[in-house]
């Protein structure tokens, strides 16, 4: 079968296809052996609700006391009408629930409560986030190099990359770019398959997929699900929500979890679902796809439309759909009730208990995300980021062009500025423009940076690499572009304006501009980590730079700033104040300016610096540059700290929020709500429901 798939593109012989499939299996065998760890997932009495902010007492239940389990070697389909809670269930299990939702219940992985984010679970979400400038092959290849063990040779990694491309049927678009706002790339279905390819690369032990086949044609959907099934049958645990599977695709799933309005309608073997529906009084008609039938029975969104149709059909005396004599709400209620006292539910509870009692070395939990050494990740990420930056026009190129044009403008306006007394002000304005307004333009890279941060966030949640590696790689890859931007601008301005022409002064102006721009970039990174929204980020960034410009010493001398707040500490932590001070010193120290009165003695630059510009010349300009560099390093460290804190502290705040919410809506039962499950005999699991927050920092708290 797999060999047939290999040949499906018609471009390779049977032998070649067989060789590729076998080769791939061999390589995966090696990669898999490292990651293979049985992952048994159990969720009991899982409830998710969203409080109504305007009406303190009311709330909306998204998931209503769900129980279930997933085990290795099986693939489970989560099905249900749109809005039934499939994504919410997957998000809850993966610890990625939205901040406003409150989760109660227990989630056990191999019998233990623990966070499933940051590397435990590989999750292909409904929206795919990737770097639009890379080709499909590059995207997979970088990802493979980031995560596959460093002990694997280049050939082995390549084999896995090629194997995955084939497995997801991406060979025809392998050289095409993914696409972004200005570059039309691959189709939606191809993007979807690329998203899956990225996660199945490492054969994760626990794999979640949210509608992996949406947007795919039926043949592609079949092959994709078949690939997922083969991963599951290799000893992995796979859970996937799915919309409208064909009969063939539906038959590939081992288990089925059917949801409607957040309630469980069926949990059990998928092949037994039809019998369950028949026993409930809703047999699947012969010609109908079973999954269509199930959804038809439980989707109550269109009851009103159905009623109208029934009335018109009655008028026309046409035979009606046998199911239409019931409202869907009735059918759903009957099914939910039937399931509650069904054999399937009893079986599920027994199995949940068995799983919870299992112990032994095979139950050790291993992270699936990242197994490459940090230096390999750093070099791969730096290369990937450099390629992205160099191909994305909006990231640096447009800014570099604007910087050059602006420098020419500055150069022509301040052309050959002299050393007469009035020229002092021109020199000061020129320096202020370069170190104030020209650094301001670094805000322009914010949208591209937000896009990159989204990719980082997704990859981080899936445990692909660490925060420090990412921050370092971002600095290394952006450095050449920042250097080009600063050197080009500084060179044009320096030689057109004709500041003092010593080479060291030229070097200083380049470094001063470079370090100031790098600080603004870092500030933008911090803002992006706090407000990952393009418009809000630009507004906050502009506000920040505005304040920095105001207190840098050009509009008001630094010593004249109000002592409280503006002088101490703002002017001291302001890169602009140090940068401008350094630029003034660079220009004025050693310079002699004509006297205000014609024929008078020349005035020393140091005097002008102190008397007219409000700066003391008692420390060297290089100390000013060092201060900017210290701010730069501090900002980068702050960025790392914020990301780390967000990961560590957000569960705590979510717990607080959850507790507050539960108290506000007066839901004591959430805390003490009795599990519908029989008590587990194992000591380890003999635990009442309590806050997920107390479960080793799960980020979806319950009270
Ligand atoms: N954080 C949230 N705040 C408020 N409502 C939410 C939140 N998350 C989900 N919902 C609501 O919960 C319901 C279930 O959403 P969910 O995304 O889980 O549905 P779904 O079954 O995945 O649907 P689809 O098949 O369309 O993807 C929806 O009505 C949605 O509006
Ligand atoms: Mg969904």
Per-residue pLDDT tens for 247-278? 999 999 999 999 999 999 999 999 999 999 99
Q: Is residue 512 part of a domain?
A: yes
- Cβ–Cβ < 8 Å for 430, 417: yes
CB contact burial 370-384 (16+ within 10 A = b; e otherwise): bbbeeebbbbbbbbb
Q: What is the pLDDT of residues 567-625, one digit of tens each?
A: 999 999 999 999 999 999 999 888 888 887 777 788 888 888 888 888 888 889 999 99
Enclosing H/E stretch for 42:
strand 41-51
pLDDT band at 176 (very low <50, low <70, confident <90, very high): very high
- Cβ–Cβ < 8 Å for 678, 47: no
Rounded Cα gap, residues 520 and 154, in angstroms: 38
pLDDT band at 321 (very low <50, low <70, confident <90, very high): low
Please state whether beta strands 74-79 and 255-260 pair in parallel, antiparallel, or not at all (unpaired): parallel
Tally of CB atoms within 10 A around 5: 17
Rounded Cα gap, residues 292 and 412, in angstroms: 71
Query: Ligand 1 atom 9: the closest Cα is on which residue?
Result: 88
Asked if the model's pLDDT at residue 675 lies above 60, the reply is no
Enclosing H/E stretch for 642:
helix 621-664
Q: What is the pLDDT of residues 297-307, one digit of tens each?
A: 888 666 666 66
Instruction: State the pLDDT at residue 601.
Output: 83
Atom of ligand 1 nearest to the CA of 241: 22
Asked if the model's pLDDT at residue 135 lies above 70, the reply is yes
- Cβ–Cβ < 8 Å for 387, 133: yes
Is the dihedral angle over the CA atoms 359, 360, 362, 363 positive or is it negative? positive
**What would the mean pLDDT of 312-327 be, rounded to a whole number?**
62
- The two tokens of residue 356 are 């919870």
Enclosing H/E stretch for 546:
helix 534-550
- Annotate 204-273 with DSSP letters as a single string: -SEEEEESTTTT--HHHHHHHHHHHHHHHTTT-EEEEE-SS--HHHHHH-SEEEEEETTEEEEEEEGGGH
Rounded Cα gap, residues 365 and 40, in angstroms: 10
User: In 3-state terms, what secondary structure has residue 689?
Assistant: coil
Q: Is residue 297 part of a domain?
A: no
Atom of ligand 1 nearest to the CA of 80: 21
pLDDT band at 354 (very low <50, low <70, confident <90, very high): confident
Rounded Cα gap, residues 399 and 393, in angstroms: 9
User: How far separated are the first and last CA of the chain, in Å rounded?
Assistant: 50
Rounded Cα gap, residues 94 and 240, in angstroms: 12
- Cβ–Cβ < 8 Å for 369, 144: no
Query: Ligand 1 atom 25: the closest Cα is on which residue?
Result: 82
Asked if the model's pLDDT at residue 237 lies above 70, the reply is yes
Mean pLDDT of the chain: 84
Q: Is residue 673 part of a domain?
A: no
- Cβ–Cβ < 8 Å for 477, 448: no
Cα–chain center distance at 186: 20
Atom of ligand 1 nearest to the CA of 100: 1
Q: Is residue 72 part of a domain?
A: no
For residues 691 and 306, which has the higher predicted lDDT (pLDDT)?
Answer: 306
pLDDT band at 229 (very low <50, low <70, confident <90, very high): very high
Query: Ligand 1 atom 10: the closest Cα is on which residue?
Result: 62
Ligand 1 binding residues, C-beta < 6 A: 50, 62, 80, 82-88, 98, 100-101
pLDDT band at 318 (very low <50, low <70, confident <90, very high): low
Instruction: State the pLDDT at residue 499.
Output: 79
CB contact burial 350-368 (16+ within 10 A = b; e otherwise): ebbbebbeeeeeebebeeb
Q: Is residue 657 part of a domain?
A: no
Q: What letter does residue 177 receive in the DSSP assignment?
A: B
Q: What are phi and psi of 50, to 5 degrees?
A: -120, 120
Instruction: State the pLDDT at residue 223.
Output: 93
Instruction: State the pLDDT at residue 372.
Output: 84
- Number of domains, the chain: 1
User: Which has the minimum average pLDDT: 68-82, 161-175, 281-295?
Assistant: 281-295
Rounded Cα gap, residues 610 and 633, in angstroms: 29
Using the mean position of ligand 1's atoms as its centre, give its distance from the Cα of residue 98 in Å: 10
Cα–chain center distance at 27: 29
Q: What is the pLDDT of residues 7-51, one digit of tens each?
A: 444 344 434 444 444 444 445 544 444 445 788 999 999 999 998
Using the mean position of ligand 1's atoms as its centre, give its distance from the Cα of residue 88 in Å: 6
Q: Is residue 703 part of a domain?
A: no
Q: How far is CA 9 from CA 5, 19, 167, in A?
A: 8, 15, 11
For residues 127 and 363, which has the higher predicted lDDT (pLDDT)?
Answer: 127
Asked if the model's pLDDT at residue 169 lies above 60, the reply is yes
**Beta carbons within 8 Å of 383's beta carbon, 6+ residues apart:** 142, 477
Rounded Cα gap, residues 85 and 103, in angstroms: 13
Ligand 1 mutation target, pool 48, 51, 52, 62, most atoms within 8 A of CB: 62
Asked if the model's pLDDT at residue 146 lies above 70, the reply is yes
Q: What is the percent of the chain where pLDDT is above 70?
A: 83
Using the mean position of ligand 1's atoms as its centre, give its distance from the Cα of residue 83 in Å: 5
Atom of ligand 1 nearest to the CA of 126: 27
Domain of 559?
Answer: 374-618
Q: Is residue 590 part of a domain?
A: yes
**What would the mean pLDDT of 77-84 be, rounded to a whole number?**
94
- Cβ–Cβ < 8 Å for 74, 330: no
Across-strand partners of 237?
Answer: 74, 206
Using the mean position of ligand 1's atoms as its centre, give its distance from the Cα of residue 104 in Å: 17
For the chain, counts of helices (H) and of strands (E): 25, 14
Instruction: State the pLDDT at residue 311.
Output: 67
Instruction: State the pLDDT at residue 317.
Output: 55
pLDDT band at 209 (very low <50, low <70, confident <90, very high): very high
Atom of ligand 1 nearest to the CA of 101: 1
Highest-scoring range by mean pLDDT, 37-41, 211-215, 255-259, 680-684: 255-259
> What is the chain's Cα-based Rg?
32
Nearest to 240 by CA among 266, 200, 212: 212
Q: Is residue 262 part of a domain?
A: no
Nearest bound ligand to the CA of residue 295? 1
Using the mean position of ligand 2's atoms as its centre, give its distance from the Cα of residue 519 in Å: 40
């Amino acid at each position: 079968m797999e060999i047939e798939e290999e040949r499906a593109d018609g471009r390779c012989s049977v032998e070649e296809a067989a060789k590729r499939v076998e080769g791939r299996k061999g390589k995966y065998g090696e990669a898999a052996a490292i990651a293979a760890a049985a992952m048994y997932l159990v969720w009991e009495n899982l409830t998710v609700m969203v409080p109504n902010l305007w009406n303190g007492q009311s709330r909306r239940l998204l998931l209503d006391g769900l129980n279930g389990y997933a085990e290795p070697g099986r693939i489970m389909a989560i099905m249900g009408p749109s809005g039934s809670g499939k994504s919410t269930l997957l998000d809850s299990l993966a610890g990625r629930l939205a901040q406003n939702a409150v989760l109660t219940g227990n989630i056990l992985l191999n019998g233990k409560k623990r966070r499933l984010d940051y590397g435990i679970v590989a999750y292909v979400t409904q929206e795919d986030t990737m770097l639009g400038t890379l080709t499909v092959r590059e995207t997979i290849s970088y990802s493979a190099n980031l995560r596959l063990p460093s002990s694997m040779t280049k050939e082995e990694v390549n084999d896995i990359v090629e194997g995955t491309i084939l497995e997801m049927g991406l060979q025809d678009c392998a050289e095409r770019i993914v696409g972004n706002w200005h570059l039309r790339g691959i189709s939606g279905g191809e993007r979807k398959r690329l998203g899956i390819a990225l996660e199945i690369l490492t054969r994760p032990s626990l794999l979640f997929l949210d509608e992996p086949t949406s947007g795919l044609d039926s043949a592609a959907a079949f092959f994709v699900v078949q690939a997922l099934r083969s991963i599951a049958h290799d000893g992995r645990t796979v859970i996937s929500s799915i919309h409208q599977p064909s009969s063939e695709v539906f038959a590939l799933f081992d288990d089925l979890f059917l949801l409607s309005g957040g309630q469980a309608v069926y949990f059990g073997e998928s092949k037994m679902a039809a019998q369950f529906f028949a026993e409930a009084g809703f047999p699947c008609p012969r010609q109908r796809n079973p999954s269509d039938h199930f959804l038809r029975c439980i989707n109550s969104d269109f009851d009103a439309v159905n009623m109208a149709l029934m009335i018109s059909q009655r008028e026309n005396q046409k035979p009606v759909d046998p199911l239409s004599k019931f409202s869907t709400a009735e059918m759903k209620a009957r099914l939910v009730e039937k399931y509650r006292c069904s054999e399937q539910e009893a079986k599920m509870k027994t199995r949940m208990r068995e799983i919870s009692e299992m112990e032994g070395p095979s139950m050790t939990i291993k992270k699936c995300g990242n197994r490459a050494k940090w230096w390999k990740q750093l070099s791969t990420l730096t290369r990937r980021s450099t390629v992205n930056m160099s191909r994305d026009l909006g990231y640096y190129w447009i800014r570099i062009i604007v910087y050059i044009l602006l420098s020419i403008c500055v150069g022509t306006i301040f052309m050959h500025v002299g050393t007469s007394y009035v020229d002092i002000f021109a020199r000061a304005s020129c320096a202020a423009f370069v170190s104030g307004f020209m650094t301001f333009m670094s805000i322009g890279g914010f949208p591209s940076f937000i896009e990159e941060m989204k990719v980082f966030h997704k990859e981080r949640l899936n445990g692909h690499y660490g925060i420090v590696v990412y921050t370092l790689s971002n600095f290394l890859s952006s450095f050449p572009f920042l250097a080009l931007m600063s050197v080009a601008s500084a060179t044009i301005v320096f030689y057109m304006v004709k500041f003092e022409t010593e080479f060291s002064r030229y070097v200083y102006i380049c470094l001063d501009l470079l370090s100031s721009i790098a600080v603004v970039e870092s500030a933008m990174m911090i803002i992006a980590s706090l407000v990952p929204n393009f418009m809000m980020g630009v507004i906050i960034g502009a506000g920040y730079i505005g304040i920095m410009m105001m207190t840098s010493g050009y509009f008001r001398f630094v010593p004249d700033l109000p002592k409280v707040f503006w002088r101490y500490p703002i002017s001291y932590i302001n890169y602009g104040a140090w940068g401008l001070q350094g630029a003034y010193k660079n220009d004025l120290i050693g310079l002699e300016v004509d006297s205000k009165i014609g024929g008078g003695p020349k005035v020393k630059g140091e005097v002008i610096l102190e008397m007219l510009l409000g700066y003391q010349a008692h420390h060297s300009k290089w100390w000013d540059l060092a201060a900017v560099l210290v701010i730069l390093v501090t900002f980068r460290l702050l960025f790392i700290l914020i990301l780390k804190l967000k990961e560590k502290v957000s569960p705590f705040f979510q717990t607080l929020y959850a507790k507050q919410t539960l108290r506000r809506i007066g839901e004591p039962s959430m805390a003490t709500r009795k599990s519908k499950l029989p008590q587990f005999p194992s000591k380890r699991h003999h635990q009442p429901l309590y806050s997920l927050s107390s479960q080793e920092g799960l980020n979806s708290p319950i009270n």
